[in-house]
A = this chain, B = another copy of it.
Amino acid sequence: MSHMKYGCLMAVDPDHVLRAAAALLTHKATATMDEVAKAAGISRATLHRHFAGRDALVRALESLGIAECEAALDAARLDEGTASEAVRRLVGAIEPAAGLLGFLYTENQLFEGEEQNAGWTLIDERISALFRRGQLSGEFRIDLTPAWLTEALYGLLASGAWMVQSGKGAPKDFQHMIVELLLGGALRREES
């Protein structure tokens, strides 16, 4: 053995491997299993022992992304306060997962033909319900469908994550940029 870090050969933490894989694939979607293994600090053989193959790894990442989304939805308490406040909380809570979501978003386009994980449908419905609540309360305009607002939120999250990742924007501006544009738009408000 050439070099041994930490001197530990304990059982690998699958969650740690997933986090490392997510961090890598977030900014290099075509990374090989070899690169993923190196990024996680384990060998390719061990990576294969925990995840049968690249498909299994992506599926596990998808489950992780869904779980983080649902956690963010729970943490944002979408039913409390005004819809605007709920959207703001949601964007803030989902920010750490935005990069992973962007990766899964493009990866899902490769599954065209297969059925997508039902978890995404539930998430879509929860977010759509939030926008619908805002419309019913008179807070949001009604000429933009909840489905479109949901999809637009995804797109803005991806753009925001990309901007932060490429260094063109500061992480601290992430929430503000997205929420302000999504809710208020680019036009200047006369009143308020």
| Among candidates B29, B110, B143, B184, residue contacting A109 with C-beta atoms closer than 8 Å | B29
Whole-angstrom distance between the alpha carbons of A7 and B173 in the complex? Answer: 60
Q: Which of the segments A48-56, A57-65, A72-80, A144-152 contacts the partner chain?
A: A144-152
Chain B residues whose C-beta falls within 8 Å of the C-beta of A43 in the assembled complex: none
The 0/1 profile, CB within 8 Å of B marked 1, for residues 162-179 of chain A is 110000110001001100
List A residues 131-189 near B (Cβ within 8 Å): 131, 134, 138-141, 143-144, 147-149, 151-152, 154-156, 158-160, 162-163, 168-169, 173, 176-177, 180-189
| Among candidates B28, B139, B147, B176, residue contacting A188 with C-beta atoms closer than 8 Å | B139
Whole-angstrom distance between the alpha carbons of A183 and B189 in the complex? Answer: 11
Q: Given A106-B106, A109-B29, A159-B155, A187–B148 Cβ distance below 8 Å? A: no
Contact between B190 and A191 (Cβ–Cβ < 8 Å)? yes
* Nearest CB in chain B to that of A173: its residue: B148
Q: Is A30 an interface residue (CB 8 A)?
A: yes
| Among candidates B141, B147, B163, B176, residue contacting A187 with C-beta atoms closer than 8 Å | B141
A interface residues (Cβ-Cβ under 8 A, vs B): 27-30, 84, 87, 106, 109-110, 112, 131, 134, 138-141, 143-144, 147-149, 151-152, 154-156, 158-160, 162-163, 168-169, 173, 176-177, 180-192
Q: Which 9 A-B pairs have the closest CB atoms?
A: A185-B185, A155-B159, A155-B155, A184-B185, A141-B188, A151-B159, A140-B186, A106-B106, A183-B187
With A29-B106, A148-B181, A191-B191 known, 10 other A-B pairs at CB within 8 A are: A28-B110, A106-B106, A141-B180, A141-B187, A141-B189, A143-B180, A151-B159, A155-B155, A180-B185, A190-B191
